[in-house]
Chain A
Amino acid sequence: MATATAGVRPSRRGKTRRQTSLRGAGPFTYLSLALIGILFAAPFVWMLVTSFKSKVDAAAATPTWIPRDATTDSYRFILDQPQTPVFRWFLNSMLAATGQMLLVVTVASMAAYALSRMDFPGRGVLSKLILATLFVPPISLLIPNYVIISKLGWLDSLPAVIIPGAAGAFGVFFMRQFFQSLPAEIEEAALVDGANRWRIFWTIVVPLSRPALATLALLSFLTNWNDFLWPLYVLFSPSRLTLQPGLSTLQSAYTTDYATIMAGGVIASIPVLLLYLVSQRFVIEGVSRSGLKG
């Protein structure tokens, strides 16, 4: 492959040629993409539409894409049920996702900074050990972590869904990749000027790392917000649940009352979809970059 490119020099002409060689889309492509796009968007629309239907309408034999008489009954109903306190779950999810995000960003970036910039005995072994755990399937941690959490007295409480999840190696790996791409000259100059590592980290490195930190924050917020398995088993009181396990409760409580269930789904999706709308490119690029490097 390399030999084929060796003779071709990238030039201005090369660039214009590239655009002609990567032809655009014909009517057939457009049509199929439009179809796929509609298929992918339809479930979202259906969830939203159903949440504004009445119970009867949502169970009608002939489903309609426009509510026969639009109502916010489902939302009003769902928000003040003592057995399914959706508003409380929303709050719990916010606290958990924000708490874990802050924890991950702080702790992982500090560790990654030490691993990529400082010399100390055991650095090589430690780096390898941390990175190796990226390959450990999470299922091997499920049962023992449950026991550990219960010994710490954290079952059925927010620390259970904030703290253990922040121990994963991904954040350290992600920030280490970034720090290694950051030129060290400014820090070296500061060191020569007598600044200590702690000050350098907070006043020079952190501001320079804002894009990477923001990506990590976003990814860890999304991950925690959407986590299902762990909170499903470690939280159990209705008032202590987060949204995702709460949705499972909604399903067992309201079985085929789909208008109510879809209202719960919409409430649980609003923050992530808003984040996505606001920072769509950022999310996609963050995910694909970390994916490639993970």
Chain B
Amino acid sequence: MAVPLLGDEGVLAPTVARRRSAARSPRALAGRPSTAYLFLAPYLVLFTSFVLAPIVYGLWISLHDWDFLLPGKPWAGLSNYTDLFTSGSVSSGPFWSAMRATGIFMVLAVPLLVLPALGLAVVLNRKFRGRNFFRAIIFAPYVLGVAVVGLLWRYLLDPNLGLLNYYLGLMHLPTPAWTSQTPWVFLALVIPTIWWTVGYNTVIFLAGLQDVSPELYEAAEMDGAGRWRQFISITVPSLRPVTIFILITTILASANVFGQAYLITQGQPGNESRTLIMQIAEEGLRRFNMGSAAAMSTVMTVALLLISLASLVFTRERKDA
């Protein structure tokens, strides 16, 4: 992901080059490696204990019938995995239901988090009074934690006491049970998420727009291209790297949706809006059925890695074409 997206990369290039040559100078090489290891040691202790070791340990747990509360953790081979893919097993039902809920959420949320953000960024890239104020307002929800977002929207979407249904009622529109009825529960997850994070995507699009060379627009204007034409022929292609970045981060973030489902819909109705992360956390950390939960985490991890890989490959092909 270390695509040089910011304009200042070009400015940095000379200093980086100078640094490299300095690193090869005898003086720098004279430094003892032990010094470097001492600088690295505190981080490496943390990194090994809570990132590297858990990656391996998680796989190990998934190969056992690992009940956190029981002393014995018998070897289970791949059965935790095969169970997930065997219909009728204890774990496969809830797992695929959670998969479905997460999938529905992603299909609804990703376009609604990316396209409006692009639109807002294009508008905010113009010069007008109050644009910084507006940018500050739509970004503000992003600094809240998901727990606050969850509480607040649980109230706003409350079927009886909520503000949304009150206004819908005033307009003689249907007032659904947002937090407990399909398909409304999925909107009850998506709407708060848009409020919460669309500002983040907007701000990143905006940073990308600042790097589009103004000369391109000048040239287009001289050629008589209108604003829409400029958007399609200049803005969209120039924003390609930023768009890829936003798309991948939004897809990954949406796949990881948890707090909204935990607090707003509480998985209702039944467990229909229980998301993958919620299923894994509840299975592993409430029911302490960790072997199965770890297997679900592995499957989800592989799926997420495939998604990011696929989007990278796809966009690279488009570029070559």
Q: Which residues of A approach B to under 8 Å, CB–CB?
A: 1, 4-5, 8, 10, 14-15, 17-19, 21-25, 29-30, 33, 36-37, 40-41, 43-44, 46-47, 50, 58-59, 62-63, 106-108, 110-111, 113-115, 117-121, 123, 126, 130-131, 133-148, 150, 163-164, 166-169, 172, 180-185, 188, 191-192, 196-198, 201, 222, 225-229, 232-233, 243-245, 247-248, 250-251, 256, 258, 261-262, 264-265, 268-269, 272-273, 275-276, 280-281, 283-284, 287-289, 291-294
Contact = CB atoms under 8 A, between A and B. Distances in A.
Nearest to B135: A284
B185 interface: no
Nearest to B1: A294
Contacts of B29: 119
A21 B68 contact: no
A144 B61 contact: yes
A217 B156 CA distance: 33
Given A24-B127, A142-B284, A163-B46, A247 B147 contact: yes
Interface string B270-289: 00000011001100111000
A37 B152 contact: no
25 contacts: A22-B214, A40-B141, A114-B36, A118-B31, A119-B28, A134-B1, A137-B301, A137-B305, A139-B276, A139-B297, A139-B300, A140-B301, A142-B285, A143-B294, A144-B53, A147-B57, A148-B50, A148-B57, A167-B46, A180-B19, A182-B15, A244-B147, A247-B151, A284-B135, A294-B1
Contacts of A143: 58, 61, 280, 284-285, 290, 293-294, 297
Interface string B7-26: 01000100110110011010
B2 interface: yes
A291 B249 contact: yes
B195 A228 contact: no
A1 B217 CA distance: 12
Nearest to A20: B221
- Among A167, A192, A245, the most chain B Cβ lie within 10 Å of the Cβ of A167
B112 interface: no
Contact of A245 (B61, B147, B207): B147
Contact of A181 (B15, B128, B219, B280): B15
A140 B19 CA distance: 37
A251 to B, nearest CB: 6
A147 B61 contact: yes
Contact of B155 (A33, A50, A180): A50
A197 B166 contact: no
B55 A141 contact: yes
A107 B44 CA distance: 9
Contacts, number: 350
A17 B221 CA distance: 10
Given A1-B216, A147-B68, 8 more contacts: A18-B214, A107-B46, A140-B54, A188-B22, A198-B35, A226-B146, A248-B262, A251-B263
Interface residues on B, range: 35 or more
B155 A262 contact: yes
B216 A4 contact: yes
A256 B159 CA distance: 11
B37 to A, nearest CB: 7
Nearest to B39: A114
B147 to A, nearest CB: 4
A2 B294 CA distance: 49
B39 A139 contact: no
Contact of A118 (B39, B154, B238): B39
B123 to A, nearest CB: 6
A23 B158 contact: no
Nearest to B303: A137
